[in-house]
Each structure stands twice: as structure tokens, then as C-alpha cells.
Amino acid sequence: MPLYFFHVYHDGPSRDEVGENLADGHAAWREATAMAGEMLKDLDGSLKPGHDWNLEVTDTKAKILFRLTISADRPQ
């Protein structure tokens, strides 16, 4: 099974050095969305207007397969 990496960027990178063996890209997408759901619950006020929260899924060649982005802003 191919290896996928799940990197989080929120006021700095948090690189996944371990990775996860998953069946295919579809499984990696499901994992990313489930992980994002858990992580977003954890934000709990720490995401500030003007900042972003990103989750990137890459393969072993560091190619970005998916990116989930939560943008926070305060319209003027």
C-alpha cells in the first residue's frame, strides 16, 4: 500500500515524518477529511482572523495530492 503524509500548517509547519500506509488516494482523502475534522475541533479559538489552517497530503515524492484550507478573516 502506498505511503501518504499528512502535514499541518498553522502558524508554522508541522511535518508528518511517519506517514500512513493507505489503500489508495481515495482512502488518503478520507483520512485527511477525518483528521481535519478532529483537528478543527481542537482549534478551539486558536485560529485567529487573518490566519489560515492547512492540511496537505503528500506522497513519498513530496508531491501535494490534496490540500484542505480553513481561512479566517474579519471583513472590514
Partner 1 sequence: MPQSKASTGRTNDLLSALGRDQIDLLSPHITTENLDQGVILSEAGDETEFVYFPHSGMLSLLAVLNDGRAIETAMVGREGAVGAMAGLGLYISEVRVVVQLRAEVSKIAASRFRKATARSDVLRDLCMNSNEVLLAQTRVTAACNAVHVIEARFCRWLLHTADRAGNDPINLTQQFLAEMLGVRRTSVTEVARRVQGMGAIEYSRGSIKIQDRKLLERLACECYATLSARSVL
In whole angstroms, what is the distance from residue 26 CA to residue 4 CA? 11
**Which alpha helices (DSSP H) does 1-76 contain, by range?**
25-43
Least distance from C-beta 34 to partner 1, angstroms? 6
In whole angstroms, what is the distance from residue 34 CA to residue 25 CA? 14
Q: Is 1 in the site for partner 1 (CB under 8 A)?
A: no
Site size with partner 1, rule: CB under 8 A: 15
Site string for partner 1, 14-43 (x = CB under 8 A): xxx-x-x----------x--xx--xx-xx-
Up-side HSE of residue 41: CA atoms within 13 Å toward CB? 5
Binding residues for partner 1 (CB under 8 A): 6, 8, 14-16, 18, 20, 31, 34-35, 38-39, 41-42, 44
